[in-house]
Amino acid sequence: MPNKSPRVFSREFKLEAVRRILAGERIKALSEELKVLRKDLYAWRDLFRAGGAEALRPLGRPRKSDAVAPSVRARARDVAAADRGAPERIA
């Protein structure tokens, strides 16, 4: 048997599926239409209820743009600009 990698779904796909579930569509019918396991649909619904759209992030590492919040980057730049002697002390 060939090893199949698991399908990865975008956040938009998951949000649309959850929206349809919350609108009243039957999970079994939706599962067959979208070709997604029912357990995944239940998991997405529960994640959405617990944490909103942000909870439906795909598995794996965050993208580089998501890794460090912009506010943290700005603060790091400010600290580096304020302490010009830091590179010499570190070296």
**Inside any domain, residue 4:** no
pLDDT score for 14 = 93
**Inside any domain, residue 1:** no
- Number of domains into which the chain is organized: 1
**Inside any domain, residue 6:** no
Cβ atoms of 69 and 78 within 8 Å: the answer is no
**Inside any domain, residue 41:** yes
Domain that holds residue 47: 11-90
Of 4 and 69, more confident: 4
Residue-wise DSSP of 15-35: HHHHHHHHTT--HHHHHHHHT
**Inside any domain, residue 38:** yes
Distance (Å, whole) CA 8 – CA 59: 8
pLDDT score for 37 = 93
pLDDT score for 39 = 94
Q: What's the rounded mean pLDDT across residues 67-86?
A: 64
**Inside any domain, residue 57:** yes
What are 11-70's pLDDT values in tens digits? 899 999 999 999 999 999 999 999 999 999 999 999 999 888 888 876 666 666 555 566
**Inside any domain, residue 63:** yes
**Inside any domain, residue 2:** no
pLDDT score for 54 = 83
